[in-house]
Amino acid sequence: MDTQQYMSMFLEESMDNLQTLNESLLELEQNPDDVNKVNEIFRVAHTIKGMAATMGFSHMAELTHKMEDVLSKFREGELSVNQKVVTVLFDCLDTLENMVNNIQEGNSDDIDISSIIRDLQAIAANRIEDEVPSKEAELEQTNELQHEVSRVQLNEYDINIVKEANYRGYNVFEINVILSENTLLKSARAFLVFKSLEEHGEIIKSVPGTEELENENFDFEIKLIYVTSKDQNSIYESLMGISEVDKVIVMPLEASKVKAAAQQPQNETRVAQEMKVQEPVQKAEPKAATPEKKAASVEKEGAVTHKKAHQSVRVDLERLDRFMNMVSELVIHRTRLEQISQNHKLTELNETLEQVARTTSDLQDLVMKIRMLPLEIVFNRFPRLIRDLSVELGKEIDFIIKGADTELDRTVIDEIGEPLIHLIRNAADHGIETKEERIKRGKNPVGTIKLVAYQEGTKAVIRVEDDGNGIDIEKVRRKAEKSGINTEGMSENDIRNLIFAQGFSTSETVTDISGRGVGMDVVKTKINSLGGTVDVISEMGKGSAFVIKLPLTLQIIQALLVKVGSETMAISLGYIDRVIDFDESMVKKSNNREVILYRGNVIPFVRVNQKLGIHSDESKNKFIVIAQIGDKTAGLLVDSLLGQQEIVIKPLGKTLQGLKEYIGATILGDGLVTLILDAAALI
Q: 181 phi and psi, to 5 degrees?
A: -70, -15
On average, the pLDDT of the chain sits at 76
The three-state secondary structure class of 554 is coil
Intrachain domains 4-132+267-280 and 138-262 with the same fold: no
Cα atoms in the 13 Å half-sphere on the side-chain side of 533: 17
Distance CA 593, CA 591 (A): 5
Asked if the 556-682 domain carries CATH number 3.30.230.70, the reply is: no
pLDDT of residue 465: 92
Decide if pLDDT at 297 tops 50: no
Q: What is the 8-class DSSP label of residue 41?
A: H
Architecture of domain 376-551: 2-Layer Sandwich (3.30)
Please tell me the chain's helix, strand, coil percentages from 3-state DSSP, rounded to the nearest 5.
50, 20, 30
Evaluated on CA atoms 294, 296, 302, 305, the torsion sign reads negative
Q: 268 phi and psi, to 5 degrees?
A: -60, -45
Q: What residue ranges do the domains of the chain occupy?
A: 4-132+267-280, 138-262, 317-374, 376-551, 556-682
With beta carbons less than 8 A apart as the criterion, state whether 535 and 589 touch.
Answer: no
Cα separation values, 85 from 114, 120, 652, Å: 17, 9, 53
pLDDT of residue 464: 92
pLDDT of residue 288: 37
pLDDT of residue 450: 92
Query: Which stretches of 301-393 are DSSP H helices?
Result: 317-344, 347-371, 376-379, 382-393
Residues β-bridged to residue 408: 373
The topology under which CATH files domain 317-374 is Helix Hairpins (1.10.287)
Q: What is the mean pLDDT of residues 388-403?
A: 88
pLDDT of residue 555: 67
Measured in whole angstroms, how far is the alpha carbon of residue 69 from the centre of its chain?
29
Q: 216 phi and psi, to 5 degrees?
A: 60, 30
- Residue 97 — pLDDT band, cuts 50, 70, 90? confident
Distance CA 656, CA 664 (A): 9
Q: pLDDT tens for residues 153-211?
A: 577 777 778 888 887 888 888 888 888 887 777 888 888 888 888 888 888 888 888 77
What DSSP element (H or E) covers 210? helix 210-214
Evaluated on CA atoms 551, 553, 558, 559, the torsion sign reads positive
At how many degrees (to 10) do helices 58-75 and 114-124 cross? 20
- Residue 451 — pLDDT band, cuts 50, 70, 90? very high
With beta carbons less than 8 A apart as the criterion, state whether 54 and 282 touch.
Answer: yes
Decide if pLDDT at 301 tops 50: no
pTM value is 0.54
> For 3-12, 99-108, 137-146, 218-227, which range has the lowest pLDDT when averaged over its residues?
137-146
For domain 4-132+267-280, give its CATH number from 3.40.1190.20, 3.30.379.10, 1.20.810.10, 1.20.120.160: 1.20.120.160
At how many degrees (to 10) do helices 7-30 and 35-55 cross? 160
Count of CB atoms situated within 10 Å of the CB of 340: 13
Distance CA 552, CA 411 (A): 10
Give the active site residues.
46, 68, 426
Strands 533-539 and 447-456: unpaired
Q: pLDDT tens for residues 48-69?
A: 887 777 677 888 888 888 888 8
What DSSP element (H or E) covers 664? strand 662-667
> For 52-66, 305-319, 573-587, 637-651, which range has the lowest pLDDT when averaged over its residues?
305-319
Q: 431 phi and psi, to 5 degrees?
A: -75, -65
Distance CA 275, CA 281 (A): 10
Q: 682 phi and psi, to 5 degrees?
A: -65, -40
| Helices vs strands, H then E, count in the chain | 25, 22
Distance CA 513, CA 392 (A): 9
Distance CA 515, CA 508 (A): 8
Cα separation values, 544 from 159, 163, 471, 478, Å: 59, 65, 7, 20
Nearest to 424 by CA among 376, 460, 475, 388: 388
With beta carbons less than 8 A apart as the criterion, state whether 64 and 86 touch.
Answer: no
Distance CA 57, CA 60 (A): 6
* Amino acid identity at 94: D
Distance CA 643, CA 561 (A): 6
Distance CA 572, CA 301 (A): 39
Residues β-bridged to residue 648: 556
Q: pLDDT tens for residues 504-563?
A: 665 554 444 444 344 677 788 888 777 778 888 888 888 899 998 887 766 677 788 888
Q: 596 phi and psi, to 5 degrees?
A: -135, 160
Distance CA 357, CA 363 (A): 10
Asked if the 138-262 domain carries CATH number 3.40.50.12780, the reply is: no
pLDDT of residue 146: 46
Decide if pLDDT at 323 tops 80: yes
Query: Which stretches of 483-545 are DSSP H helices?
Result: 492-496, 519-529
Task: Give, rounded to a whole angstrom, the gap between the first and last alpha carbons of the chain.
Answer: 61
Q: pLDDT tens for residues 632-662?
A: 788 898 888 888 877 777 777 667 766 777 7
pLDDT of residue 263: 44
